[in-house]
A and B are shown apart, each in its own frame.
Chain A
Amino acid sequence: MSEAGELPLAVDGLTTAFRVEGRWYDAIRDVSFSVARNETLALVGESGCGKSITALSIMGLVPKANGRITAGRVLLDGRDLVPLDETEMEKIRGNAISMIFQEPMTSLNPVLPIGFQVAEALRYHTALTGEAARARALALLEHVKVPSAARRFDDYPHQFSGGMRQRVMIAIALACSPQIILADEPTTALDVTIQAQVLALLAELKSETGMAMIFITHNLGVVASIADRVAVMYAGDLIEIAPVEELFEHPMHPYTEALLSSIPRVDRDAGDLKPIAGQVPPITAMPSGCRYADRCPLRVPRCATMPPLVGLAVDPNHQVRCWVRAADESVSA
């Protein structure tokens, strides 16, 4: 793992609460991880496990009306972003950290030309204006391989396909050469062939620029092809984080294990698929201890208190949040 000083982004003990019928509940709690330069960290888990909320918390885009960060730090080059006000965050968003969203069809403004929307990202973070911003925006669109970008610069989003719109979104995110890019299921809404093209583009751009990427997905196939490390989330907790091969070969957390054996595979019989018994508890009835305990075959009385995320003695880069498994592997706390 890299030295702390090289880490563009470190999330430490992040807890974000949402208000449901007048009461506040933790949607994610005590989430900690970091990403190094030129590294892709995949954030995986089922829908509703807090992946997107983690990303929005990093961006400072948690809707203020019913959500707030209640604890933890988001360190960008060592500077905590959580206490920053809106004006200060505006200088960071789209500049040091950018985000690509899941839904390309609705994520671009329908009444503004796409070229303008790319140039707009430059306008507020760079000295580029007018023709210079336009030229740079055009270069960005060509860079993400939008065909005949010059001719289509002033076209509107409805004149583009989903895949092309996602390329435009990527161009926007890349505009100010961010240190970190947050990609929230950027390929989920796309056709499989387009999905592969967009993944290849993202990988290519990442290796060119050396930026760090947090790639949010529920698709473990995509994880295997793009990630360096994987963090698994369950019901708002980050339960395991490990280098990608390590996680696929030696999953430690019982939920990760179950998740991996629930992937359909061509070389296995459908009868071997093991769906996970039980359901994720609703946010209003989360246990205070391990949130997976109710569904876990390894449960012990100690699971009623929340286990810490600890590195394994054999490999400190492989961290797991489980009393049973951490003890089995003679953990170094």
Chain B
Amino acid sequence: MLPYIVKRLLVAVPTLLAVLTVVFFFVRIAPGDPAFIILGDQASPQALAAVRHELGLDQPMAVQYVDFMSTVLKGDLGTSLVTHRSVWGEIANVLPYTIELTLSALVIGVVIGLPLGVAAARHRNEALDYAARLFSLAGLSFPAFVSAIMLLLAFAIELHWFPVISEGRPGDPWSRVNALVLPAVNLGLIMVAYVMRVTRSSMLGVLGEDYIRTARSKGVPARVVIWRHALGNAMIPVVTVVGLYLGVLIGNSVLTEIVFNRPGLGKLIVNSLNQRDYTMLEGLMVIYAFFIVIANLLTDLTYGLVDPRVSQR
């Protein structure tokens, strides 16, 4: 297992470097001149040139690239063009909100979706299976912002169970948890739908395998056949989907954060887009890319845990 972990870590490094390179060129080919944005369209050519020089934009592309990579790899994401504060500082302020939202959604998705998928497969073509499939179809069909508004209307505005603005008061952990419930449920329901569907179809495939018949022929109780023998194998495609979907989840969290008026990377990214805050956007893209690489790394490592054939290859 250890050589496998080391190998996956080593693969993650070039992936990250490649992603940073893409981010660098992406920002450079985007329309608009940062100096123009900072100084406004009344600025004199001398002033613009001075700002470009300050930002290093007058340097050849290769020099800019080396500059960018070396500062980013040192953990320095630069300063915001709008607020003139450290990009990393701004991100670090709101990062916990996004992480707690994404992780709660992930937990909700797995804790509800997995048993639901197993139950649907066991009771294939019975009422429970149809109900679960209908629910998951609904979960996949509703855009995150629509379900968010419906949740707000029902549980915040009508029932007053949860706050409308999901930020929580500083220094009051309970209000933070309370504020997290609706956004986490909103994001989690989509995850439940995905996990349930994949678990169901994967379980249906596995239940027809020869080794399930072997387990039953040994007299292993039905419950153990399902949870140990079948789910152990059915988990492999589920891990893939959860891993892939982590990326989508981070994307969907943007919409959820905006509708629930919650601090987080999503709100930050929309504000920076509106204000053409290039350095902030660059920093955010680096952070998102970093998370996707981490999610993939975790997925690979989970494979190693779930499937002995992977870690010994």
Where the two chains meet, the residues of A that have a C-beta atom closer than 8 Å to any C-beta of B are: 59, 61, 86-87, 89-95, 98-99, 101, 103, 106-113, 120-121, 124-125, 156, 158-159, 169, 172, 175
* Cα-based distance from A59 to B219 in the complex (angstroms): 10
A109 and B219 within 8 A (CB): no
Where the two chains meet, the residues of B that have a C-beta atom closer than 8 Å to any C-beta of A are: 209-211, 213-222, 228-229, 232-233, 306-309, 312
| B216 CB contacts on chain A under 8 angstroms | 61, 93
* Cα-based distance from A99 to B214 in the complex (angstroms): 8
A111 and B217 within 8 A (CB): no
Q: Which 7 pairs between the two chains have the least Cβ-Cβ distance?
A: A94-B219, A94-B218, A93-B219, A106-B210, A109-B211, A156-B308, A121-B218
Partner of B309, one of A94, A156, A169: A156
* Cα-based distance from A329 to B221 in the complex (angstroms): 50
A107 and B219 within 8 A (CB): no
In the complex, the chain B residue whose C-beta lies closest to that of A154 is: B308
Interchain pairs with CB closer than 8 A, number: 79
* Cα-based distance from A179 to B91 in the complex (angstroms): 70
Q: Give 16 A-B contacts (CB < 8 Å), ordered by A residue.
A: A59-B217, A86-B222, A87-B221, A90-B222, A93-B216, A94-B217, A101-B214, A107-B211, A109-B211, A110-B211, A110-B233, A110-B308, A111-B233, A111-B306, A124-B218, A125-B219
Q: A91-B219, A125-B219 are in contact. Are A172 and B214 (CB under 8 A)?
A: yes
Given contacts A93-B217, A124-B220, 18 further A-B contacts (CB under 8 A): A90-B219, A91-B219, A94-B218, A95-B219, A101-B210, A101-B213, A106-B210, A106-B211, A107-B211, A109-B215, A109-B232, A110-B308, A112-B229, A120-B218, A124-B219, A156-B308, A158-B308, A172-B214
Most A CB contacts (10 A, CB to CB) among B218, B232, B309 go to: B218
Nearest-neighbour CB distance to chain A for B155, whole angstroms, equals 41
| A158 CB contacts on chain B under 8 angstroms | 308-309
In the complex, the chain B residue whose C-beta lies closest to that of A182 is: B217
| B222 CB contacts on chain A under 8 angstroms | 86, 90
Q: A110-B309, A156-B308, A172-B218 are in contact. Are A61 and B213 (CB under 8 A)?
A: yes
* Cα-based distance from A113 to B309 in the complex (angstroms): 11
| A156 CB contacts on chain B under 8 angstroms | 308-309, 312
B215 and A111 within 8 A (CB): no
Secondary structure call for the B interface: helix
| B312 CB contacts on chain A under 8 angstroms | 156, 159
Q: A93-B216, A107-B211 are in contact. Are A124 and B221 (CB under 8 A)?
A: yes
A108 and B211 within 8 A (CB): yes
Nearest-neighbour CB distance to chain B for A106, whole angstroms, equals 4
* Cα-based distance from A140 to B286 in the complex (angstroms): 56
B214 and A107 within 8 A (CB): yes
Nearest-neighbour CB distance to chain B for A105, whole angstroms, equals 9
* Cα-based distance from A95 to B308 in the complex (angstroms): 29
* Cα-based distance from A101 to B211 in the complex (angstroms): 10
Nearest-neighbour CB distance to chain B for A173, whole angstroms, equals 8
| A95 CB contacts on chain B under 8 angstroms | 219
* Cα-based distance from A301 to B209 in the complex (angstroms): 45
Partner of B209, one of A61, A90, A94, A106: A106
| B229 CB contacts on chain A under 8 angstroms | 109, 112
Q: A111-B306, A112-B229 are in contact. Are A98 and B217 (CB under 8 A)?
A: yes
Q: A90-B222, A107-B211 are in contact. Are A61 and B308 (CB under 8 A)?
A: no
Partner of B219, one of A108, A113, A121: A121
Most B CB contacts (10 A, CB to CB) among A87, A109, A169 go to: A109
In the complex, the chain B residue whose C-beta lies closest to that of A118 is: B218
Nearest-neighbour CB distance to chain A for B269, whole angstroms, equals 40
| A110 CB contacts on chain B under 8 angstroms | 211, 233, 307-309
Nearest-neighbour CB distance to chain B for A211, whole angstroms, equals 16
* Cα-based distance from A92 to B214 in the complex (angstroms): 14
* Cα-based distance from A99 to B211 in the complex (angstroms): 12
* Cα-based distance from A124 to B219 in the complex (angstroms): 7
| B306 CB contacts on chain A under 8 angstroms | 111
B214 and A90 within 8 A (CB): no
* Cα-based distance from A113 to B308 in the complex (angstroms): 9
* Cα-based distance from A125 to B221 in the complex (angstroms): 11
* Cα-based distance from A159 to B229 in the complex (angstroms): 19
| A111 CB contacts on chain B under 8 angstroms | 232-233, 306-308
In the complex, the chain B residue whose C-beta lies closest to that of A97 is: B217
